[in-house]
Amino acid sequence: MMTLFSRRAFLSSGLSVFGAAACANAPAVSLRPERRPEDFIQRAAPGVERLIAEAQLGGEVSFSVMDVKTGLTLEEREARDGQPPASVTKAVTALYALDTLGGGYRFKTQLIATGPVEGGVLKGDLILAGGGDPTLDTDALAEMAAALKAKGVREVRGQFRTWGGALPFEKVIDAGQPAHVGYNPSISGLNLNYNRVHFEWRRGGDGYQVTMDARSARYRPEVRVARMVISTRSSPVYTYKDRGEYDSWTVARGALGGRGARWLPVRKPAAYAGEVFAVFARSQGIVLKDGGELRQTPKGTALVTHQSAPLRDVLRGMLKYSTNLTAELVGMMATRARNGRVQSLDASAREMSRWARSELGMSGAKLVDHSGLGEASRLSARAMAQALVKVHGARALRPILKDIDLRDGNGRVNRNHPVKVQAKTGTLYFVSSLAGYMTAPDGTELAFAIFTADTGRRAKIDSSVTERPPGARSWNRRAKQLQQKLIERWGMVYGS
């Protein structure tokens, strides 16, 4: 059911996008214009039901659009119905983290000594302790190793340990995803390179040369914590087994071609970070004896501390690139800060859902994670739009949202489009969402949420099949086209 609330203040001027264009070439004889009826712009703008019918999405289409200054609901359709929000969830996570941790919060990764340093010798263990930093990369570990040497350490008499216990370990974000997708890695308090390992292959005269490395902008250290074997088969493309000390992958020879590369998820994140740090320590002349992962909270003196960028910058990157691991880590760290501890990803998502309902008024919010990867999450378009209106005055979210490019009739990006949009997208197979803010041609600012989903088609997807489901690509394209047409309609009706 679609509800339209007309506002005389928006319509009484009688102007429209079409009317402004018509004035570009003035007539030779001045004409006295007739007063247009109040609903002229509504009749000139395309109808909502026609747009939805033309998109041929099936399933459910819901939306809500509100005026950010007055909070008035301007237009809605099935806006109370809970839908899978996909990565629009990350906008809620960003607000949750900002409210709890603050925009200036920085994640810390430390090298902790359990004994004194005397004459360049650390008489105790050295611990690489994670603080939930989602942005820790190989370059940062290289800098930490150099900083350790600069502190005068040249030998570690005890063992080298890692600690990821700041957050509970989760093997995957969503168990329903294929094993090899890099956007579904493990979660720990100590993470590296978004918990992905770079797999590269190249065919030569003697067969394939394979590397597994923790590459970054400056370095490419090879690792043994993730290993790859080429198997003579056509399918499945990848298989995974946990071999205790390392991740064991196989890949089908028939799927490789001449050369290529891809990122694979890491299932032993603390060991991964530890192995890479040990490489850089050795390059500084410090040979470390592996003592494995520490289970209890480390005690000792922090010799080196690496800090992330401020949380607001971390969240800006998360919203731009839609990094699932970042969303889960910042959400879980926020829950830890609120409650003193976090039991699991699922428990943290429930806590964020309670916060969203109580602090943002998001009635019915039920989230199973912080990233939107889990399809069981539910948000309503009205709840999302209301939350956007509520935080607009504080400018908590809009400045870190991504600019969304609208397109012309040929599908090309139109930099001069009169409607400007800052929003968060969300995409799963047969699920497409968009929520954020738009500025209409006359400067009117609106908050909106559009949720589209064909859960019936999604339920038929075989998660063991790695290929894109038939029809998913074209469905997603039509959903995005519908989103733009709705936004353009609102620009005509409420901002011209």
Same-domain status, 248 and 195: yes
Q: Which residue, 290, 308, 326, sits at the end of a domain?
A: 308
pLDDT tens string 166-210: 999 999 999 999 999 999 999 999 999 999 999 999 998 888 999
Same-domain status, 70 and 149: no
Domain that holds residue 422: 2-85+378-494
User: Is 372 inside any structural domain?
Assistant: no
User: Is 355 inside any structural domain?
Assistant: no
b (16+ CB within 10 A) / e for 201-228: beeeeeeeebbbbbbbeebebebebbeb
User: Is 350 inside any structural domain?
Assistant: no
Q: Which residue, 281, 308, 335, sits at the end of a domain?
A: 308
Same-domain status, 257 and 398: no
pTM: 0.90
Q: What is the CATH number of the domain that holds 238?
A: 3.50.80.20
pLDDT reported for residue 466: 66
pLDDT tens string 386-438: 999 999 999 999 999 999 999 998 889 999 999 999 999 999 999 999 999 99
User: Is 448 inside any structural domain?
Assistant: yes
Three-state DSSP at 4 gives strand
The total number of structural domains that make up the chain: 2
Cis peptide before 236 (omega within 30 of 0): yes
Judge residue 364's burial from the number of C-beta atoms within 10 Å of its C-beta, 0-12 exposed, 13-18 middle, 19 or more buried: middle
Judge residue 273's burial from the number of C-beta atoms within 10 Å of its C-beta, 0-12 exposed, 13-18 middle, 19 or more buried: buried
pLDDT tens string 313-326: 999 999 999 999 99
Strands, DSSP E only, in 352-487? 379-380, 402-404, 420-428, 431-439, 445-453
pLDDT reported for residue 40: 46
User: Is 365 inside any structural domain?
Assistant: no
Same-domain status, 114 and 79: no
Same-domain status, 79 and 113: no
Strands, DSSP E only, in 205-252? 207-213, 226-231, 238-242, 247-252
pLDDT reported for residue 401: 98
User: Is 341 inside any structural domain?
Assistant: no
Judge contact between 163 and 129, C-beta under 8 A.
yes
Same-domain status, 240 and 155: yes
Judge contact between 274 and 254, C-beta under 8 A.
no
